Every structure is written in C-alpha cells, then in structure tokens.
Amino acid sequence: MGERPVGVTIVAVIAWISGALQIIGGIIQVLPGGDNFWAGVWAIVLGAVTIIVSLGLFRGSNTARIVVTIVFALNLLSAFFLLFSPFTFWSALFSGILALVGILLLYTRPANAFFR
C-alpha cells in the first residue's frame, strides 16, 4: 500500500463529517418534540457506521471503501427524492453533490491503487 491519495483523505473527512451531521440530526429527531423517533434512530446508526468506516478509509481498507460507497449511494438516492421538496432543496442538493464527489474520488486511478 502506497501513500494515501489526497482524494481519499478528502472523502474520509467528508464521510466523517457526514456521519457526525447524521448523528446530530438524529439526536434532534429523537429528542422530545422531534419529528420522527425511528427516523432519528436510523440516522444515528447510519451516522455511527459512516464515522467508523471513514476511519477505515484512512487506513486503506477496501471493505471500508465499499461500505462508504454504499452509504454515499443511499445518501445520493435520498437526496434525489428530497430535491422535490421546497423545504429541503438546498440541503438535498448539497448532500447529493458531496455524495457524488465522494464516490467519484474513491474510484480514481490513485485511489484504486491505494486500496489494492
């Protein structure tokens, strides 16, 4: 395993931040007065998995790359559906762009070499 490409480092940081934001959003949802308890629990679990797996990206774990790709693909899918809501358009657009960029950076030539 060679030196970690900058793109992989960027994705690992984006994944960590994304996981942290999911956890914060989930906590807000499960607190009294929150929108949806079970959606909040799901967000907390998904955020925790994203943070744990992002740490694997720093170490060059191909399994972590696959899991982050799946999580980012799910984020991209949910962002697509949220684009049609006037209340979540901008956050969905930003989230979708980050997920797409993350997936693309994980599969560049230097990233593929790093994860081999």
Task: Report pTM.
Answer: 0.74
35: which DSSP letter? S
Read off the pLDDT of residues 27-81 as tens digits, 9 standing for 90 and up.
988 888 766 788 889 889 989 988 999 999 999 999 999 998 998 898 888 888 8
Look-up of token digits 């984020």: 75
Read off the pLDDT of residues 66-82 as tens digits, 9 standing for 90 and up.
998 998 898 888 888 87
Identify whether the C-beta of residue 56 lies closer than 8 Å to the C-beta of residue 64.
Answer: yes
